[in-house]
Amino acid sequence: MNQNPYLIPANTKKGELILGIFRPIDLVIFLVGVGITLLALVIMSLANAIDNVTSILAILPAGIAVVLVFPFPNYHNVRVAFGEVINFYTNRQKYVWRGWCSKYEFKDK
């Protein structure tokens, strides 16, 4: 029997991530969003300018950052999924039907 004693588990890439969740850029996005929100909330509380609209505007950066780094099925997170969708729709695609031929010869017109 040919058994390989060096099997690689399916989640090996997770070990390369920070805390098993974040890439470095994801962690930066998350920390910057939360930091801006905390700073805005502190400034609002010191200025006694707390109302519904300013509270929502102050919490918005953290909300956006959390949504962008949230895990998404078949992708690393929502930010990566958005990037793939943008990449798909902005790049030029040319799909050529090859038929059922065993050989493929591409002739550019």
| Residue count (the chain) | 109
Map tokens 């040319």 to a residue. 94
Residues 6+ apart with CB under 8 A from 54: 44
Quickly count: other Cβ atoms within 10 Å of residue 36's Cβ: 16
Q: Tens digits of per-residue pLDDT, 2-20? A: 565 666 666 666 667 777 7
Map tokens 């950066």 to a residue. 61
3-state secondary structure at position 56: helix
Q: What secondary structure letter does DSSP report for 76?
A: S
Residue 105 confidence class, pLDDT cut points 50, 70, 90: low
Question: Would you say residue 23 has pLDDT above 90?
Answer: no
